[in-house]
Amino acid sequence: MEKIFELRNVVKTYKNDGKEFTALKDVSLTVEEGEIFGIIGMSGAGKSTLVRTLNRLEDVTSGEVLFYGKDLASLRSSELRSIRHSISMIFQGFNLLSQRTVIQNVEQSLKIIGTPAKARRQKAREMLEIVGLLDKENEYPARLSGGQKQRVAIARALAADPKVLLCDEATSALDPKITGEILDLLKKINQERKLTIIIITHEMAVVEKICDRVAIIDDGSLAEVGDVKEVFSNPKSGAAKKLVFPSNPFDPSDPDGKIVRIVFDGTKANVPFIANLVEETGLKVNILSANTRSVGGIGYGQMIVELPSSEQDRRTVIRFFEAGGLTISEV
């Protein structure tokens, strides 16, 4: 697949009252055409700064941001305006114009680029049909729910036929049910229109649901990047482990007890490992917590268990799980 974005050693430094703050530290990554790419990190990690470099709302201090091979920093104003028409963006706050109807909001991006009124109206209605809000075209934003407002924002973003859609915390203000519906809509748009989507979020559940690949940003640095399934099942960086693995609220029942995390992927999710352990070895483990998630439609999960007190029994249990293809790590 063709690279739509390529970041090379990107650094972004802000200066305030004579002090410097580096928001991005030597970030290099690529986004391929047609994929849904997630950028995740905790608050203040630098992910929103990163996404703003993709349409040059932020100029980088050093490094390069390439869009289809063109360095954004080298473009003249007219060239940059043209490229920005190919890069649409939706936000957490929707950014709708309250004094304009739904269809007028969707028409706004087309009006800016000089599309004739009749063509604007026809295109806006097509976009509203895609997001399921054609019956709301004459309503005002105040009469819409949060999910409906975000659908209008998506329709507006799609109206200019962009090559990429940037979503900056676009579902953070929505409840879980509506978030799921918006993510399903984005996935449908990606598949049907072959639109590249970049999602900036602090929620791993968003990445797990629809992203193909993910970059994890930690304190301005790229901590890890890879396929979502691989990062979930085998996170390598400390930042990734914090996002993927839940914290363990339990202490071992024995002061000398040992707690481990068992991670299983979609091919192992339906195997009764704990029951098999008891049946085959006679040994038991204490399950402290467990969860499963759907990642790309495949079940992945993890358990935090307390091992037997005997060192020999612990080794037997670990060998049993490892022989079954499970990943074991000490908590």
Judge whether residue 130 has pLDDT over 90: yes
pLDDT at 296: 65
pLDDT at 139: 94
Return the half-sphere exposure (C-beta side, CA atoms, 13 A cut-off) of residue 14: 9
Judge whether residue 142 has pLDDT over 70: yes
Confidence of residue 121 (pLDDT cuts 50, 70, 90): very high
Place of tokens 């920093």: 73
Judge whether residue 39 has pLDDT over 70: yes
What does the H/E/C string look like for the chain? CCEEEEEEEEEEEEEECCEEEEEEEEEEEEEECCCEEEEECCCCCCHHHHHHHCCCCCCCCEEEEEECCEEHHHCCHHHHHHHHCCEEEEECCCCCCCCCCHHHHHHHHHHHCCCCHHHHHHHHHHHHHHCCCHHHCCCCHHHCCHHHHHHHHHHHHHCCCCCEEEEECCCCCCCHHHHHHHHHHHHHHHHHHCCEEEEEECCHHHHHHHCCEEEEEECCEEEEEEEHHHHHHCCCCHHHHHHHCCCCCCCCCCCCCCEEEEEECCCCCCCCHHHHHHHHHCCCCEEEEEEEEEECCEEEEEEEEECCCCHHHHHHHHHHHHHCCCEEEEC
pLDDT at 249: 59
CATH architecture of 246-330: 2-Layer Sandwich (3.30)
CATH 3.40.50.300 maps onto the chain at 3-242
pLDDT at 33: 95
* pLDDT tens digits for range 163-176: 999 998 888 878 88
The predicted model gives 299-307 an average pLDDT of: 81
CATH architecture of 3-242: 3-Layer(aba) Sandwich (3.40)
Lowest mean pLDDT among 27-31, 42-46, 126-130, 232-236: 232-236
pLDDT at 159: 92
CATH 3.30.70.260 maps onto the chain at 246-330
Distance CA(257)–CA(251), nearest Å, equals 9
Q: Return the higher-pLDDT residue of 250 and 47.
A: 47
Strands 3-16 and 19-32, sheet pairing: antiparallel
pLDDT at 262: 84
At 124, list the tokens.
């806006």
pLDDT at 316: 92
Looking at every residue in the chain, the average pLDDT score rounds to 88
- Return the CA Rg of the chain: 24
Judge whether residue 241 has pLDDT over 90: no
The predicted model gives 11-33 an average pLDDT of: 92
Distance CA(217)–CA(157), nearest Å, equals 26
Judge whether residue 27 has pLDDT over 80: yes
pLDDT at 269: 61
The predicted model gives 101-110 an average pLDDT of: 92
Distance CA(152)–CA(147), nearest Å, equals 9
Confidence of residue 246 (pLDDT cuts 50, 70, 90): low
* pLDDT tens digits for range 260-276: 888 877 666 667 888 88
Confidence of residue 242 (pLDDT cuts 50, 70, 90): confident
The predicted model gives 242-256 an average pLDDT of: 70
pLDDT at 266: 63
